[in-house]
């Protein structure tokens, strides 16, 4: 059986490490899936040559594989007047592999047709604009493992390879011409060190737990400090006798979610360790797990828990903050996503998924780290190196503060502060330290003289506001404006709520040098009329005042992602409040209902009306992409329409859970018509799921944030109560 449901355009890239000191092998294609790590495959053919593809991508097989549970399927013809190419490339410039001279490229091949080994494709390593074409038949091992042969290509054999410079990927192309259709399967495309650890794995693996839920089982294990362990291999049985391999996981992962065929059934598990030669250790002991149909509350519990696990596993070890990348030797952290992580951790702690002591300890680690980070006007850079405490900037010599990222972080810290404030005196220091960071943000310095009501999103001590854009409009700008208005020491004027937030702006003259606009970072003094130095904007109204599917919508649009409407209200409570623009709670209900009706009309490929949530609706949808569904959109509606949303939660889990649901929660998207799902996750999606489920169930995050005196004062100044 050929499938594309689990990977489609996004194929897995793993960086496994460390195997030996400062060496991190790279995996271009591996057949299990993991957060945020993926490659793209692209197929091109011309003349009489041809390659089987799905929408220009290689399909994968879930019945033929070297390691569970799939392999790339390469089915092709060759012709003297034609050619074909298949490119498998890293999708993210930060994930490119930088080779050492003695490294090697390895992969496994399985020939499913008689002439496939005689017409093996040529291989090129893509490095910038260089293609190093190689005849791979010279590097095929004679040893076979269940029909799979190994290809091991020393990088020293590539004369024009530049060590230390990034490799973008590999390309297979037509080799010898043969008459028949050929079929190859390709698995485990990896860059490995020349001498990986070779210690034999003689001790049995250790499977710690197997916990069953509705239709999945969570497995955890204990991993010894043995450098030759490369993967964890998972086996499942439904009779405790006949075990089949279902997945492998890299060594930096401590958990696996196995989505099983049936609920109300007992399953049995064991695991092994795998070394660099794919030799397995002795089996672990067998654990059993009995799945059971979940109630609605139980369903919501384990959905929340899985999305919390995404944030916990993405914690950068030095800082306690949210890592930009997972499973790599990279300590970059995201300030904005750390704020989202804190909201998720408070929700998960309240549910008992993680202890209060553990969350408090992680919070203190974050504070210890943040207090040593250089700030600019009290605000943080968008990205920071967890090892050095230094900001990571597009241009190293141009440090820059990011106000939106800082606002997200402050929102998360204040919610955590409110959550722990009722604990014993042990939290006094925690409360004071969060207050110091919060009170130190000079929100009013992120404006220019003469336009004090308009927040700008960036400021640099080197170039001032040169790279800044104005904040405002119906989007996450609400968080920045509410916090800036609530600031105890550096508040912006009250008028900024309507005059700043209430208008979305774009620079009318993109050549205008914002850094010269009365910027105190420069010795610039306006002579005479200073208004000539003020930036001019094209303005767009906050209110939309439209009707969609017979429903009045005051703000927002069904032609924008609903996530844009959710994110401003992850912590800020819309219930029972009306400002000069909208009754947000009622408006969200109408916006959600209209969005869903539009999605249902588009026929996304599911027979269920509960499967909805276009990832990029309306004019933002790329051509042929109007069936890409983000589960977080429908699930996030639980805070507003719980009875309808619980049906969506159940449908996504039970109908598409095998493709969508993992130890990190729901993947970023599914395209049912294309039989495809993303191999990536997203912090905004994960936070939306856990936080909006918890807000819908208990109102926890809304109550904590709105209960803060400074935030409540903003509410009193700008909102009126709405009776329900």
Per-residue confidence band for 580, with pLDDT thresholds at 50, 70 and 90: very high
Q: 176: which residues sit within 8 A by CB, 6+ positions away?
A: 78, 118, 119, 120
Q: What is the pLDDT of residues 653-664, one digit of tens each?
A: 999 999 899 999
Q: 338: which residues sit within 8 A by CB, 6+ positions away?
A: 321, 322, 366, 408, 409, 412
How confident is the model over 622-650, as a mean pLDDT? 89
pLDDT at res. 282: 97
**DSSP bridge partners of 547:** 552
Which of these ranges, 385-399, 496-510, 620-634, has the smallest mean pLDDT?
620-634
Question: Residue 464 and residue 572: Cα distance in Å, rounded?
Answer: 30
pLDDT at res. 298: 98
Question: Residue 329 and residue 320: Cα distance in Å, rounded?
Answer: 16
Residue 494 pLDDT > 90: yes
Q: Is the pTM of this model over 0.85?
A: yes
DSSP one-letter code for 550: T
Which of these ranges, 232-246, 511-525, 565-579, 673-687, has the smallest mean pLDDT?
511-525
Contact, 611 vs 651, CB < 8 A? yes
Contact, 73 vs 158, CB < 8 A? no
DSSP three-state, residue 548 = strand
pLDDT at res. 191: 85
Q: What is the pLDDT of residues 404-458, one digit of tens each?
A: 999 999 999 999 999 998 776 665 789 999 999 999 999 999 999 889 999 999 9
Q: 529 or 647, which is more confident?
A: 647
Q: What is the pLDDT of residues 694-709, one digit of tens each?
A: 999 999 999 999 999 9
Contact, 523 vs 474, CB < 8 A? no
pLDDT at res. 424: 62
How confident is the model over 486-493, as a mean pLDDT? 97
How confident is the model over 318-342, as a mean pLDDT? 91
Q: 97 or 717, which is more confident?
A: 717
Q: What is the pLDDT of residues 146-169, one digit of tens each?
A: 789 999 989 888 877 888 888 888
Q: Please give the mean pLDDT across all residues of the chain.
A: 86
Handedness of CA 555, 494, 411, 572 (dihedral sign): negative
Question: Comparing C-alpha atoms, which of 560, 563, 561, 557 is closest to residue 582?
Answer: 557
How confident is the model over 331-342, as a mean pLDDT? 97
CA angle 236, 241, 247 (to 5 degrees): 15
Residue 672 pLDDT > 80: yes
Residue 514 pLDDT > 80: no
Question: Comparing C-alpha atoms, which of 437, 414, 456 is closest to residue 709?
Answer: 414
Residue 21 pLDDT > 50: no
Can you tell me which residue has the tokens 């033929």?
A: 64
What b/e readout covers 553-578, taking b as 16+ CB neighbours within 10 angstroms? bbbbbbbbbbbebbbbbbbbbbbebb
How confident is the model over 526-543, as a mean pLDDT? 72
Contact, 175 vs 97, CB < 8 A? no
Q: 192: which residues sit within 8 A by CB, 6+ positions away?
A: 25, 103, 104, 105, 106, 276
pLDDT at res. 144: 76
pLDDT at res. 579: 93
pLDDT at res. 663: 94
Question: Comparing C-alpha atoms, which of 57, 665, 23 is closest to residue 353?
Answer: 665
Residue 554 pLDDT > 50: yes
Give strand ranges (E) for 71-181.
71-77, 83-90, 104-111, 122-127, 130-135, 140-145, 148-154, 169-173
pLDDT at res. 704: 97
Contact, 254 vs 182, CB < 8 A? no
pLDDT at res. 109: 93
């Amino acid at each position: 059986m050929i499938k594309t449901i689990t990977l489609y355009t996004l194929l897995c890239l793993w960086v496994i490490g460390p195997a030996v000191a400062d060496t991190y092998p790279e995996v271009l294609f591996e057949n299990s899936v993991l957060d945020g790590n993926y490659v793209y495959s692209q197929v091109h053919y011309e003349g009489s040559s041809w390659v089987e593809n799905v929408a220009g991508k290689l399909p994968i097989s879930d019945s033929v594989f070297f390691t569970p549970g799939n392999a790339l399927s390469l089915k092709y013809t060759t012709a003297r007047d034609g050619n074909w190419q298949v490119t498998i490339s890293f999708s993210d410039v930060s994930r490119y592999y930088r080779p050492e001279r003695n490294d090697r490229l390895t992969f496994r091949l399985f020939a499913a047709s008689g002439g496939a080994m005689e017409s093996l494709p040529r291989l090129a390593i893509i490095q910038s604009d260089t293609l190093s074409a190689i005849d791979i038949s010279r590097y095929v091992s004679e040893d076979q493992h269940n029909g799979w042969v190994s290809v091991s290509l020393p990088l020293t054999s590539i004369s024009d390879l530049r060590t230390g410079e990034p490799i973008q990927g590999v390309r297979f192309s037509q080799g010898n011409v043969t008459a028949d259709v050929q079929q190859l399967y390709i698995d485990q495309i990896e860059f490995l060190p020349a001498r990986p650890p070779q210690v034999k794995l003689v001790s049995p693996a250790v499977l710690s737990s197997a916990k069953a839920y509705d239709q999945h089982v969570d497995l955890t294990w204990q991993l010894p400090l043995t450098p030759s362990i490369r993967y964890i291999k998972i086996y499942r049985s439904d009779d405790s006798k006949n075990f089949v391999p279902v997945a492998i996981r890299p060594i930096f992962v401590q958990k696996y979610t196995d989505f099983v065929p049936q609920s109300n059934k007992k399953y049995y598990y064991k695991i092994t360790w795998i070394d660099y030669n794919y030799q397995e250790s002795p089996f672990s002991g067998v654990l059993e797990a009995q799945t059971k149909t979940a109630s609605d509350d139980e369903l919501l519990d384990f959905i929340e828990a899985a999305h919390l696990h995404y944030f916990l596993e993405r914690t950068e070890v030095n800082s306690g903050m949210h890592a930009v990348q997972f499973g790599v030797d990279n300590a970059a952290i995201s300030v904005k996503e750390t704020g989202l992580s804190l909201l998720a951790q408070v929700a998960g702690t309240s549910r008992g998924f993680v202890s209060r002591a553990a969350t408090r300890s992680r919070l203190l680690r974050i504070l210890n780290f943040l207090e040593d980070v250089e700030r600019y006007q009290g605000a943080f850079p968008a990205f920071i190196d967890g090892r050095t405490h230094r900001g990571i900037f597009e241009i190293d010599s141009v440090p820059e503060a990011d106000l939106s990222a800082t606002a997200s972080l402050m929102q998360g810290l204040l919610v955590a502060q409110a959550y722990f404030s009722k604990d014993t005196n042990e939290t006094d220091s925690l409360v004071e330290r969060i207050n110091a960071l919060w009170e130190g943000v000079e929100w009013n310095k992120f404006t220019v003289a003469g336009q004090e009501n308009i927040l700008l999103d960036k400021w640099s001590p080197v170039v001032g506001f040169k790279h800044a854009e104005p904040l405002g409009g119906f989007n996450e700008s609400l968080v920045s404006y509410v916090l800036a208005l609530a600031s105890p020491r550096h508040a912006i004027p009250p008028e900024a709520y309507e005059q700043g937030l209430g208008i979305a702006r774009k620079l009318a003259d993109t050549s205008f040098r914002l850094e010269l606009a009365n910027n105190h970072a420069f010795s610039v003094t306006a002579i005479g009329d200073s208004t000539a130095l003020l930036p001019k904007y094209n303005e767009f109204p906050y209110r939309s005042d439209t009707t969609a599917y017979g429903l009045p919508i005051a703000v927002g649009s069904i032609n924008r992602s609903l996530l844009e409407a959710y994110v401003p209200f992850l912590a800020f409570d819309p219930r029972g409040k009306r400002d000069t623009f909208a009754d947000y709670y009622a408006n969200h209900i109408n916006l959600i209902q209209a969005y869903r009706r539009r999605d249902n009309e588009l026929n996304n490929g599911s027979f269920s009306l509960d499967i909805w949530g276009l990832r990029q609706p309306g004019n933002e949808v790329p051509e042929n992409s109007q069936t890409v569904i983000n589960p977080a959109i429908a699930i996030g509606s639980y805070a507003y329409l719980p009875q309808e949303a619980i049906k969506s939660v159940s449908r996504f889990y039970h109908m598409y859970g095998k493709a969508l649901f993992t130890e990190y929660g729901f993947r970023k998207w599914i395209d049912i018509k294309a039989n495809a799902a993303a191999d990536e996750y997203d912090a905004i999606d994960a936070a939306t799921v856990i936080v909006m489920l918890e807000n819908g169930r208990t109102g926890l995050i809304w109550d904590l944030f709105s209960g803060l005196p400074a935030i409540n004062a903003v509410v009193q100044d700008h909102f009126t109560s709405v009776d329900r």
